Chain A
Amino acid sequence: MFTQSKKAKLLAVYYGALLLWLSTTAMHIPDGYLSPVTCIIMFMVALPFWIIGIRKIREKLNARSVPLIALLSAFSFVIMMFNFPIPGGTTAHAIGATIAAIILGPEAATIVVSIALLIQALFFGDGGITAFGANCFNMAVIVPYIAFAIYWAFSKNQPLTSKRRLVGAFVGGWTGVTVAAFFAGVEFGIQPLLFKAANGTPLYAPYPLSLTIPAMIIPHALIASVAEGILAALVVAYLQRSNVAVLEAAEKPAVLAEAGGFQKLRALWVVLVVLIIASPLGLLAPGTAFGEWGKQELAARGLGYIPTGIEKLSGLWGAPMANYDLPALGNSNLGYLLSAVVGIILIAVVVWLFSMLLTAGTGSKKT
């Protein structure tokens, strides 16, 4: 992608990573960073989780749920305002989705965090309206589901006051937010790949995946994820000391997950797979309009240069562009598909490793 000297390139990468990090209202994606197509897809991805969440609330909580959801959404909102200190003199804002998931189960936590995010977006300009689906998917779906699965793997069959629950809450919160940061990085990073003006100007977030993914993951893994994890663990510890009733009540929805914490993630995996398969299809229609031309077409359109990224990629795939009916199916989409698959596989492996580690632990230490 880069045409500058190596020194300038390094400088730019460093600077970009640093500043992407500094800007971290980052997990709250504002309007204008994501293309409308991405926004629509992310709304569609979040939708089933909203439906699952509402169903769950209806069947478990019925009429009581109205004030309960309202108050916990308010709680979630207030938690997002706390400056949480991290060792090393930095503070970060936790999302509170981990606590919500531990108390309510991930399905209802999705609704609670989504409502808090909606009020943030509407009244406080924190996170965009068009990017609401993406923000909900990252913070209200990924975080609670992953955090809960890990917490549950740690605390299954453990007494309410077990120390393992604290470890589970920390690891769960940390992993949840880090994975969410990865997704935010992907959402940012596919923008310049897919949505450019005719002359190659990226129309939305301008940085490639190679920059956005580390820029999102590294600072979050070091700071915001740590805040989420520590806060969740300390809140669980506090509840163990002084309000076990809350944890006990929380066990009830969790009993539904008796079959195993990771089965809770099944719905998530299905959606992810569908997403991988569907996203390039979804991009087909607007693809032509958004200027997804192949190398030769770019030249034919009177462009003085061919973006180096396209040059490289077309070499990689060796596709005879001239024979394609639909130039929109160009190489960058394949690149996107590939990166999505690689990313998902990577996460799957990490989560699977975690689950292996954890279940091995529970087996031997059963009480």
Chain B
Amino acid sequence: METTTSSSHSRRRNILEQTLHGITEAIEHAVFAEQISAHAGLLQSLDARVKVVSMLALLIGVSLSHSLLVIAAVYLLLLLLAWSSAIPVGFFIKRVWLVLPFFTGLVVIPALFITPGPALLHLPLGLVITQTGLNTVLFLLLRVSTSVSLTLLLILTTPWNTVLSALSVLYLPDVFILVLGMTYRYIYLLLHLANDMFLSRRSRVVGYLSTADNQRVLAAISATLLGKSLDMSSEVYLAMVSRGFRGSIIALKPFQMRAKDWWWLSVFLAIAAFVVVMGR
């Protein structure tokens, strides 16, 4: 639910392009993640279940922590892991900080001033930065960026279908994982379809479309997409039935824990436990 504002004319002309751009970006984004996950590196070499469990444990540790130092240490650890997993560290830092923590930073700036506490710095306009204000801002920023980095690290080093199968380690039912996998697959199909529709519509537009026209175009595309999704779901169902689908699912579990996986799992869990204890 991101919202953006700007002067009206360029905006009106650009709504179709904006959406096109967003869709293309999402596709590229996923392709790029796939590339990195194919590199040789530390995290790529580990069992996906180890990564899922470790990521969750560290996420919980970070969210429980009452200590800035501990969260910062986890972030440094993540940078180290990124580096050892053939992820360009500059990219890793930028990718995280330019989006969420950036906005979080903007949002929490007033908290510097309105959080009651001992004064740290006096600014003009009668504004005073408080010690507690500074702390709360640092907490939010660090926690948000460390959590985002954790998820990103998992996604960058693991192919998406492996991430989904690894969710079975959380005792999610196989049907659910099957649906997730199909959803992910069809997201890309529908994104391509939407992309085509936007592009063909855009190529037939001369001049400006009014807001109302744009709304109608978008609604028509959405409704067509909806119709296609529904049709396709029955076709997919028939295709599944003709290949022997009877409602029960047998999932392949291509995982095997090796000594190395156990070793790293215990390392990550020990770190997570350490984070929880030190963060109290």
A125-B115 contact in complex given A30-B147, A31-B63, C-beta closer than 8 Å: no
Instruction: Give the number of residues in A that approach B within 8 Å (Cβ atoms).
Output: 107
Q: Which of A21, A67, A68, A90 has the most CB of B within 10 A?
A: A67
Residues of B with C-beta under 8 A to A20: 107
Please tell me if the beta carbons of B100 and A125 are within 8 angstroms of each other in the complex.
yes
Please tell me if the beta carbons of B66 and A197 are within 8 angstroms of each other in the complex.
yes
A66 and B106 alpha carbons, distance in the complex (Å): 42
Please tell me if the beta carbons of A23 and B106 are within 8 angstroms of each other in the complex.
yes
A3-B116 contact in complex given A25-B1, A74-B186, A87-B211, C-beta closer than 8 Å: yes
A231 and B242 alpha carbons, distance in the complex (Å): 37
What's the nearest-Cβ distance from chain A to residue B51, in Å?
12
Q: In chain A, what residue has the closest Cβ to B235?
A: A67
Q: Is B251 an interface position by the 8 A CB rule?
A: no
Q: In chain A, what residue has the closest Cβ to B106?
A: A19
A73 and B185 alpha carbons, distance in the complex (Å): 11
A67-B182 contact in complex given A231-B222, A234-B215, C-beta closer than 8 Å: yes
What's the nearest-Cβ distance from chain B to residue A121, in Å?
8
* Interface stretch of the complex, out of B41-49, B85-93, B172-180: B172-180
Q: Is A193 an interface position by the 8 A CB rule?
A: no
A9 and B99 alpha carbons, distance in the complex (Å): 28
Please tell me if the beta carbons of B144 and A1 are within 8 angstroms of each other in the complex.
no
Contact residue among B125, B147, B236, B247 (Cβ-Cβ distance under 8 Å from A128): B147
Q: Is B273 an interface position by the 8 A CB rule?
A: no
Instruction: Give the number of residues in B that approach A within 8 Å (Cβ atoms).
Output: 103
Q: In chain A, what residue has the closest Cβ to B175?
A: A66
Please tell me if the beta carbons of B18 and A235 are within 8 angstroms of each other in the complex.
no
Please tell me if the beta carbons of B125 and A77 are within 8 angstroms of each other in the complex.
no
Please tell me if the beta carbons of B63 and A206 are within 8 angstroms of each other in the complex.
no
Please tell me if the beta carbons of A63 and B26 are within 8 angstroms of each other in the complex.
no
Please tell me if the beta carbons of A5 and B126 are within 8 angstroms of each other in the complex.
yes
A230 and B241 alpha carbons, distance in the complex (Å): 38
Please tell me if the beta carbons of A200 and B144 are within 8 angstroms of each other in the complex.
no
A70 and B185 alpha carbons, distance in the complex (Å): 9
Please tell me if the beta carbons of A62 and B247 are within 8 angstroms of each other in the complex.
yes
B 140-174 contacts with A by CB, 8 A: 140, 143-144, 146-148, 151-152, 155, 160, 163
A305-B136 contact in complex given A78-B225, A95-B1, C-beta closer than 8 Å: no
A200 and B116 alpha carbons, distance in the complex (Å): 8
Q: Is B60 an interface position by the 8 A CB rule?
A: yes
Please tell me if the beta carbons of A246 and B227 are within 8 angstroms of each other in the complex.
yes
Contact residue among A21, A26, A88, A243 (Cβ-Cβ distance under 8 Å from B227): A243
A 179-232 contacts with B by CB, 8 A: 192, 197, 199-207, 219-220, 223-224, 230-231
A16-B237 contact in complex given A8-B127, A125-B100, A125-B151, C-beta closer than 8 Å: no
Please tell me if the beta carbons of B144 and A32 are within 8 angstroms of each other in the complex.
yes
Q: Is A323 an interface position by the 8 A CB rule?
A: no
What's the nearest-Cβ distance from chain B to residue A285, in Å?
14
Contact residue among A35, A62, A73 (Cβ-Cβ distance under 8 Å from B183): A73
Q: Is A367 an interface position by the 8 A CB rule?
A: no
Q: Is B266 an interface position by the 8 A CB rule?
A: no
Q: Is A350 an interface position by the 8 A CB rule?
A: no
Please tell me if the beta carbons of A23 and B107 are within 8 angstroms of each other in the complex.
yes
Please tell me if the beta carbons of B180 and A119 are within 8 angstroms of each other in the complex.
yes
Please tell me if the beta carbons of B5 and A90 are within 8 angstroms of each other in the complex.
yes
Please tell me if the beta carbons of A89 and B6 are within 8 angstroms of each other in the complex.
yes
A123 and B103 alpha carbons, distance in the complex (Å): 20
Please tell me if the beta carbons of B63 and A16 are within 8 angstroms of each other in the complex.
no
Q: Is A81 an interface position by the 8 A CB rule?
A: yes
A-B pairs, top 6 by smallest CB distance, nearest first, are: A234-B219, A31-B147, A32-B143, A70-B182, A89-B8, A238-B223
Listed in ascending order, the chain A residues whose CB lies under 8 Å from chain B are 1-5, 7-9, 11-13, 15-16, 19-28, 30-33, 35-36, 39, 62-64, 66-75, 77-79, 81-93, 95-96, 99, 103, 115-116, 118-119, 121-125, 128-130, 192, 197, 199-207, 219-220, 223-224, 230-231, 234-235, 237-239, 242-243, 246, 249, 289, 304-305, 307-309
Contacts A31-B63, A71-B229, A125-B100 known; list 18 others, CB within 8 Å: A1-B116, A3-B116, A8-B126, A9-B114, A13-B110, A20-B107, A27-B1, A70-B185, A70-B236, A84-B218, A91-B4, A91-B11, A93-B3, A123-B33, A123-B160, A129-B147, A197-B135, A202-B115
